[in-house]
A and B are shown apart, each in its own frame.
Chain A
Amino acid sequence: MIGWFRRRPTVTAYLLLAPGLLYLAVFYVLPTVQMFLVSLWTGNVQDGYQLTFNFGIYGQAWNQYSDQFIRSLLYGGAATILTFLIGFPLAFFIAFRGGRYKNLLLFLVVAPFFTSFLLRTLSWKIIFADNGFVVGPLKDLGLVPDSFRLLATPIAVIAGITYNFLPFMTLPLYVALEKIPPSLLEAAGDLYANSWSRFRKVTLPLALPGVIAGSLLTFIPAVGDYVNAELLGNPQSQMIGNVIQSRFLAVGDYPTGSALSFILMAAILTGVLIYARIVGTEELLGGAST
């Protein structure tokens, strides 16, 4: 029996794949299709909905919520750039200078993940509070006016997102930097490159896969995030996630919520698929393996 499978390794492969892929087909692909269909419904939550292929909803949803969409892209983009600026020197140090502290430092980078996402964000609420230990002393010293706030501002939202996704940027950067063979760096030195041009012409280009993977891993959840905007922001700093959440769970306006959700996913997947064409699907999973 087992020998039969051994002579047909492809059959074994498909048997190994079948349960998991079937699961993803039913609970990832099918819901996505269903969400697209729901976006074409018309009706209301009291009288019920009907599938009317109302494609106009996409234009309406965009017109009504383009502010939140653009804000999400801006906040997500700003947070991605900030995580890169904060994460790159950190990853660089761990990869090249970590020495015997390498594992400890990596552990410290990942450690925040062992704390609830919500509790970390609530901690920032405590830290940014109007009379908390950051804003309070600044006010006492007269460095900022009494009306100064951090909490409930876009700055707090971007700071929260940056903090929460920093490890997503740092780890792929570390993986990419770690892979750079020291011999290449030595060769650059032998060819009279100074440390700056060695960094610019050897280290940075070789770290590029990590930069791309880290940017994707940060940007995707950052754009869709609404927890930071909800806990640290104000009504004027709402992101598209906040709108989708309230359409679904507060209003029961499933078509608009689905349309917005679908636009968000389509925008992100387009970017990801372009990236997949460039780097190949094998690299896609390798790059994310942090």
Chain B
Amino acid sequence: MAGSVSRAGTAGTTSATGSGSLELARQGGTFMQRFTRGVSHWLLPIYTILAVGYLALPVAVMIAFSFNDAGRSNLNWVGFSLDAWLNPLGRPGLQSAVFNSLLIAVLATIISTILGVLIGLALVRHIFRGRAVTNLLIFLPMSTPEIVMGTSLLTLYLQVPGVLFPLGVHTILIAHIMFNISYVVVTMKARLQGFPRHLEEAAMDLGANEWTTFWRVTFPLILPGIVAAALLAFSLSIDDYVVTSFTAGQTPTFPLFIYGSQQRGIPVQVNVIGTIIFLTAVGFVLLTTILSRRQRADPVEASVDE
């Protein structure tokens, strides 16, 4: 004990200013040990704050520049203005682009969530032959670069004139459902691991049939997973540029509108809509977090969790 105090004294003269680092020094050790402890004690938290700030910087810039008084090109700060916020769709073509994006995202989310949840249920709850092939088929779209999916779908569409060509909302929708399915399955799988089968068995023992058991026991238990998967699918779909650019033809979506106006100068309205999408998504996440916390407070749920 005495040794560690004296060591604290020598270390204290070089570095200790606050009580935190004094405590740090008191633990003693070789220089290397003190160094690594110092790194983890001070440098790591500071680094984390910087890294999070780095991640947030472009988002902050996007929000700030939605208040820019820029005329045509929103690349330099001109002055504060609320004009774009008061008229968020006031650009030719922007309204239909946003409408298409929302329509495609909603439909793609619903369809891909249904298809993906069914696969997720099969993978987690059933033993069947062909499991490896199924896993691979789910994994492949996620490990294919977007540009490859876009080009390959386009080559298929070109072969089915009249139905899939000319391109339009339907061909974008087909593409978005395709790349969403894998993400829904993966999210569901993660949430369904450790699924409490005994609760279903208990319901059956109490006389419920399969249908009632599914809707009264299974479905409420997997609902948080479904919501998480659907949110992910929606955000992937509404933000997609690469695959959409190959499958859209002349149909505008919000990302295509941004890219298209990039040459002539981005209108401030784009930042406004980007900010609205950002805030809506953050709101949704907060809402689902609060709801799942409340659910967890339920004693039955809590026992299920572990």
Contact = CB atoms under 8 A, between A and B. Distances in A.
Given A10-B128, A194-B32, A288-B142, 11 more contacts: A16-B122, A17-B128, A21-B119, A25-B137, A38-B158, A119-B62, A166-B55, A167-B55, A224-B147, A248-B151, A254-B155
Contacts of B186: 285, 288-289
Interface residues of A, number: 98
B51 to A, nearest CB: 5
A268 B61 CA distance: 34
Interface string A240-275: 010011001100001001100110110011001000
A79 interface: no
B222 to A, nearest CB: 13
Contacts, number: 282
Interface of A: 2-3, 5-6, 9-10, 12-14, 16-17, 19-21, 23-25, 27-32, 34-35, 37-38, 86, 89-90, 92-94, 97, 103, 105, 107-109, 111-127, 129, 131-132, 163, 166-167, 194-196, 199, 216, 220-221, 223-227, 231, 241, 244-245, 248-249, 254, 257-258, 261-262, 264-265, 268-269, 272, 276, 281-282, 284-286, 288-289
B255 A27 contact: no
Given A265-B144, A269-B144, A108 B55 contact: yes
Interface string B52-65: 10111111011001
Given A20-B115, A89-B44, A93-B47, A131 B76 contact: yes
A28 B140 contact: yes
Contact of A115 (B62, B159, B178): B62
Interface residues of B, number: 96
Nearest to A13: B126
B259 A111 contact: no
Contacts of B143: 216, 220, 268-269, 272
A103 B52 CA distance: 13
A23 B177 contact: yes
Contact of B126 (A12, A166, A268, A286): A12
B156 A284 contact: no
B75 interface: yes
Contact of B40 (A17, A97, A112): A97
Interface in B28-70: 29-30, 32-33, 36-37, 40, 44-45, 47-48, 51-52, 54-59, 61-62, 65
A24 B182 CA distance: 9
Interface stretch (B3-11, B277-285, B295-303): B277-285
A244 to B, nearest CB: 6
